[in-house]
Chains A and B, each alone.
Chain A
Amino acid sequence: MKAAPFEYIRPKSVAEASVALGRRGATTAAIAGGQSLIPMLSLRVALIDLLVDISRLDDLKAVTATPDSTWIGSLTTHSQIEDGKTPDVFGGLMRRVAGQISYRAVRNHGTIGGSIALADPAADWPCCLIALDATVRVVGRSGVTVPRIADFIHDSYATTLTTGDIIMGFDIPAPKVPLRWGFAKVARKSGAFAHSIAIVTALGKDGPATVVLGAAGPRPRQMVATATQLAVAGATEEQLRAAIATDLDANFEGLDAYQKRMHTANILRAARDMRAQ
């Protein structure tokens, strides 16, 4: 289980990295933490000519906060977020999500940018950043784009990234009132890829809710009917279940009875956790 040969460079700047990634006639890949890419290389399911190591580009490491938003550089690792080394204006949601990703040694190197770039349907950050309505700043040969994560990830392992593009980081709007949240996951075992990821948030006591479900289809989706129902004071579990059923049918194809039941239970658990806050 050893990788096929490839060339390796470690550019000094984002611009240099962008040029390298765009090398004509070559299959290139950027490596940040490498925690997903290296196994794919070792298993020879990913075959590349050139590996561009962006892991030391300081421009991708910035973490800042303003009253309006938090900026998290793409090279920020899961463990930095888990350990509270990034601003936390989301009531601890990001810390919780980070702490449940894979295993600690993997979290020490895996990055939020790498996770979004890979767009694994069972990954946590796409769900979380969609729930927080984040945007991603992409620098490439055609300039800078700032899509919302929900638009940026358009399919399983598919984003709008094109050759030479580099993710700089994420802009996450600061909630105006304290955020309440629930996060629930179904996995075969601790640290394993999830079969269901549910994130439920609400602004303040009675504010609007957001519900995102991941690992249920090619990409995470907002559960709009469920969110609406959640914001209704005194909504019963039966009403919530009906809304979830509507959302599952609207957003995901081909779910069987077990998957529907499992996702429903998982969303309800996240909602319970959120309401308990």
Chain B
Amino acid sequence: MTAITVALNGVKVVDDVEPRQSLADFLRDRCGLTATHLGCEHGACGACTVVVDGLATRSCLTLAAMADGRAVSTLEGLRDDPLMTLLRRHFHESHALQCGFCTPGMLITARDILQRHTRPDDKTVRHELSGQICRCTGYANIVKAIVAAGQDLPQASAAPPDA
């Protein structure tokens, strides 16, 4: 077992993990945070995307042991985040989800896109969404929601990155 300390959604979590345990399984099984979904477990679908030290991260491609000392945010921890609140509204209004399984990873990725791009256009959003699989919507409304959320942000810059 390996001892780890993670700042999880702003709360210090100390635990012993099996070295082989993925961050995704740690979040879901040890911490009970099931917003992070597993759609492929080999990094291709993006459903498990979380934020590690400010970076969008596949939690299935990261070991819990490697997250030691890092700050990890999941969708649960971004409940009151202003940018996520904006994205949620646009996802709802644009019908950007159907079954909802890809949604947490899409939202985390969308937030990351808006932190790096000022008012991204359709093409930019599509390129950035590569690797996020949605099997239901055909992506159009997801792209639309992210572009619209970007339009709602102040023109000067992309959304501020995580501290």
Q: Which residues of A contact B (CB under 8 A)?
A: 1-8, 10, 31, 34-35, 38-39, 41-43, 51, 53, 55, 79, 102-106, 108-109, 190-191
Q: Is the interface of A mostly helix, strand, loop or mixed?
A: loop
Q: Which residues of A contact B71 (CB under 8 A)?
A: none
Contact size range, B: 20 to 34
Q: Which residues of B contact A7 (CB under 8 A)?
A: 19
Q: Is the interface of B mostly helix, strand, loop or mixed?
A: mixed
Q: Which residues of B contact A (CB under 8 A)?
A: 2, 18-20, 22, 25, 41-43, 46, 49, 55-58, 60-63, 65-66, 68, 109, 112, 127-128, 130-132
Select which of B20, B56, B68 is within 8 A of A6 by beta carbon: B20
Q: Flag if B63 contacts A103 (CB, 8 Å).
A: no
**B148 CB → nearest A CB, Å:** 20
Select which of A4, A79, A108, A190 is within 8 A of B127 by beta carbon: A190
CA distance A104 to B49 in the complex (A): 11
Listed from nearest, the 7 A-B pairs whose CB atoms lie closest are A103-B131, A8-B19, A39-B42, A190-B130, A3-B20, A108-B55, A105-B56
Q: Flag if A38 contacts B112 (CB, 8 Å).
A: no
**A244 CB → nearest B CB, Å:** 29
CA distance A51 to B63 in the complex (A): 11
CA distance A8 to B29 in the complex (A): 20
Q: Flag if A55 contacts B57 (CB, 8 Å).
A: no
**B68 CB → nearest A CB, Å:** 8
B48 and chain A: residue at smallest CB distance:
A105
Q: Flag if B42 contacts A43 (CB, 8 Å).
A: yes
Q: Flag if B62 contacts A34 (CB, 8 Å).
A: yes
Contacts A35-B43, A39-B61, A190-B127; A108 near B56 (Cβ below 8 A) = yes
Q: List 26 A-B contacts (CB under 8 A).
A: A1-B42, A4-B20, A6-B19, A8-B19, A8-B63, A35-B58, A35-B61, A38-B43, A38-B61, A39-B61, A42-B41, A42-B60, A51-B19, A104-B56, A104-B112, A104-B130, A105-B46, A105-B109, A105-B112, A105-B131, A106-B58, A108-B57, A109-B55, A190-B127, A190-B130, A191-B130
Q: Which residues of B contact A5 (CB under 8 A)?
A: 18-20
**A271 CB → nearest B CB, Å:** 24
Q: Which residues of A contact B61 (CB under 8 A)?
A: 34-35, 38-39, 106, 109
Q: Which residues of B contact A103 (CB under 8 A)?
A: 43, 46, 130-132
CA distance A79 to B127 in the complex (A): 14
CA distance A53 to B64 in the complex (A): 12
